Amino acid sequence: MDISAMRANFAKAAAAGDEAPLWFYSHLFIAHPETRQMFPVSMAHQRDRLFAALGEVVARVDDLDSLVPILQELGRDHRKFGTVAEHYPAVGASLLATLKHFDDEWNDALAADWTAAYELVASVMVQAAEEMADQPPWWDAEVVAHERRSVDTAVLRLRPKVPLSHRPGASISLETERRPRLWRYYSPANAERPDGELEIHARAQPGGPVSTALVRQVDVGDMLRLGPPVDSLRFDPDSDRDLLLVAGGTGLAPLKAIVDHVARNGPPRRVDLFVGARLEEDLYDRADLARLEQDHPWLTVTLAVSEDGDSGLAHGDVGDVVARSGPWASREAYVAGPPAMVDDTVGRLLEHGLPRNRIRSEVFSPSRPGPDVEGKVTS
């Protein structure tokens, strides 16, 4: 395949902005109307997701070791939409039609390369889905507790009807009947428990239909659907290194799950958890963090505020507070939160000697095109 030509071709479609995904979905729904039922009634929050995902694939198309695991996760995950093998040719035909439409220099060689690339992508995804045939495409879960912690933040407790296995730091997509066929990713704030319950932290995002529904409309007794877990942070349960955990906003959730895992399963190790916010009132989980620190002598929790001059907490961006509190060169670090906070913290840790291969991070952002696009990388 001529990878550079394919990337240049895709860039032309991407440069068309909203027109390209609009053209793609129009072609797909007209040519294959049976696919329409898999998508939300309103496509306003869906149209750009396809090209964001395609951009990820194109960026890695010459690195199969990196690309194949992503495609396998997508294949397993797409079962929740009702996707079956027969849908892939329809999507591929509309994709090629779209790429051709936005490129005056389209030719037979490009068509052949894109056809081969898409067939590879589809075959990996279909095989991954078929290997999960003995697992449910989604899990029904009841909301057994819903606590508003602030105007825009809520903590929910979910009880799946069938046990849902997940690793600390994983992301799980969810759907509420209040926003049908809109799935967004959230990280459980706990490790696996004997009762199977999951704690979810949701923050309402401006214009975010799912996050807003979870915070302001979903109530005890409601049923949610949960998708298969995605191992976002890749937590290593076998390591015995001391841990440095740095959170901003609801990025606290996956790091709290790591603390819970250490408490339940070991091995014994020191854990330093830093949680940053703009204002002290934004620290929505403060009472439970104090309980955890009191219960576990190996855990130290440091709260930091960046714009609250009247607070008695550590002051400054959380990455700066972390850097001042080191050294951390012997630790494994996990960082989760808004993009600027993650970039700043990771950069500071690298400057202070922590090797890159011992830093894992996840961005929680309204614009992130991946596991969650509203409230996390999410709604």
Q: Give the domain CATH number at 15.
A: 1.10.490.10
Structure tokens, 150? 């602030």
pLDDT exceeds 50 at position 374: no
237 falls within a domain: no
Q: Which of 199, 226, 253 corresponds to the end of one domain?
A: 226
Question: What percentage of the chain reaches a pLDDT higher than 70?
Answer: 93
Same domain? 116 vs 170? no
Q: What range defines the domain where residue 156 resides?
A: 139-226
- Mean per-residue pLDDT for 1-11? 90
Same domain? 35 vs 93? yes
If one compares 108 and 76, the residue with the highest pLDDT of the two is 108
- Mean per-residue pLDDT for 238-267? 95
pLDDT band at residue 43 using 50, 70 and 90 as cut-offs: low
As a whole number, the mean pLDDT across the chain is: 88
Query: What pLDDT is recorded for position 42?
Result: 65
369 falls within a domain: no
User: pLDDT per residue over 303-344, tens digit each?
Assistant: 999 988 889 899 999 999 999 998 999 999 999 999 999 999
Q: Domain with 249 in it: what CATH number? A: 3.40.50.80
Query: What pLDDT is recorded for position 181?
Result: 79
User: pLDDT per residue over 166-185, tens digit each?
Assistant: 999 999 999 999 888 788 99
368 falls within a domain: no
Same domain? 158 vs 105? no
pLDDT exceeds 80 at position 41: no
- Mean per-residue pLDDT for 251-256? 96
Residues near 60 by Cβ (< 8 Å), separated by ≥ 6? Answer: 66, 67, 70
Same domain? 117 vs 187? no
Same domain? 114 vs 157? no
Cα 191 from Cα 361, distance rounded (Å):
18
234 falls within a domain: no
Same domain? 94 vs 194? no
Number of domains in the chain: 3
Q: Whole-prediction pTM value?
A: 0.80
pLDDT exceeds 80 at position 51: no
Cα 184 from Cα 169, distance rounded (Å):
16
Sheet-wide strand order for 359-363: 314-315, 299-305, 271-277, 243-248, 332-337, 359-363
Question: Among 119, 130, 134, 143, which residue's Cα sits nearest to residue 61?
Answer: 119
